Amino acid sequence: MSIYLDHAATTPMIEDAIAAMSAQMVALGNPSSLHTPGRASRKVIEQSRESLAAEIGCAPSEIIFTASGTEANNTALKGLYWKGRSVGRNVVVISAIEHHAILDPAQWLVDHEGAEVILIGTTNEGVLDISKLEELISRRADEIAVISVMHSNNETGVVQPIAEVVAVANAHSIPVHCDGVQSFKKVPLSFSDLQLTALSLSAHKIGGPLGIGILVLKRGLEIPALLHGGGQEREIRSGTLNAPAIVGFAAAARADYPSAQVKQLREELAAGIVRVIPDAYINGSGELLPGIVNATFPGTESDTLLLLFDGQGIAASTGSAC
């Protein structure tokens, strides 16, 4: 028997998403074409956009389809930086615990665009240190082009104080981007309620297909594009829209996530680890995602543990696999 404990990396597709995607894969038509098959493809995309907007808490026009959460992160961080730089803002602020889909493009902006990147650390509980962010903004608000903080950490599961980040930033008209890939459908997450500027999401974390993500970008806000060609998606993300993946994403997003059941399993696993291995300890505290346990086993090598787990049919990770 195999045990899969790596849903933070990717999830199995749910039946509704498979069915929706399979049906659309045999439908003909480029959604940018004006003939009947093209309009039919466009119709299912726009219906999916509306369905997803209802789940995300945003306007349908604020959804920009991408090929992944990584692309959405890159588009948001670079685009908002370039927009800010055009008015003299050269600083990018991110948390020290971001996914590499934010850390790496931030470093790229340093190496290739001359940006200054400032990392904000966390408390011992793994939560962004708001006091340090407030202190930085009090001194350098006029220099900051964008702030990017993940909604929850993909390794510890600790939910971050995004509402507080946005409140501090909004007081100085600083746009805030949030990587919400791990949180979507698992804990409450609303683009409009949080008053974000931009939000990144991905289908394959919630039972949807690989290869489709979303950048939610505040209506009326235009940023420089990474891809040019067809002018799709508000001319921010050119390229033929992937209708099968989009309808699969929408189907997965409509499904209920069993948060209470998964949380109970998480708590049972964490308690069992400490009971069987008394010197092990669980990392992260406060508000947590229901499905992530981050454990430390003193005196062990993580790669060796993974090989031993794998030999017993247990799939787990020592960090981010994506």
Catalytically active residues, by annotation: 322
Buried b (16+ CB within 10 A) or exposed e, 76-108: bbbbbbbbbbeeebebbbbbebbbebbbebbee
The answer to whether 117 and 109 have CB atoms below 8 angstroms apart is yes
In order, the DSSP letters of 138-191 are: HHHGGGEEEEE--SB-TTT-BBP-HHHHHHHHHTTT--EEEE-TTTTTTS---H
Tokens read off for 266: 């998480």
Q: Which amino acid is at 7?
A: H
The answer to whether 82 and 108 have CB atoms below 8 angstroms apart is no
- Bridge partner list, 179: 200
Burial class (CB in 10 A: 0-12, 13-18, 19+), 70: buried
The answer to whether 252 and 208 have CB atoms below 8 angstroms apart is yes
Packing angle of the helix pair 36-56, 243-254 (nearest 10 deg)? 30
Give the separation between CA 45 and CA 42, rounded to whole angstroms. Answer: 5
Query: CA 144, 145, 151, 156 torsion: positive or negative?
Result: negative
SS3 label, residue 309: helix
Q: How far is CA 230 from the centre of its chain?
A: 26
> What does the longest C-alpha to C-alpha distance in the chain come to?
67
Strand pairing class (63-66; 213-217):
antiparallel
- Bridge partner list, 94: 119, 148
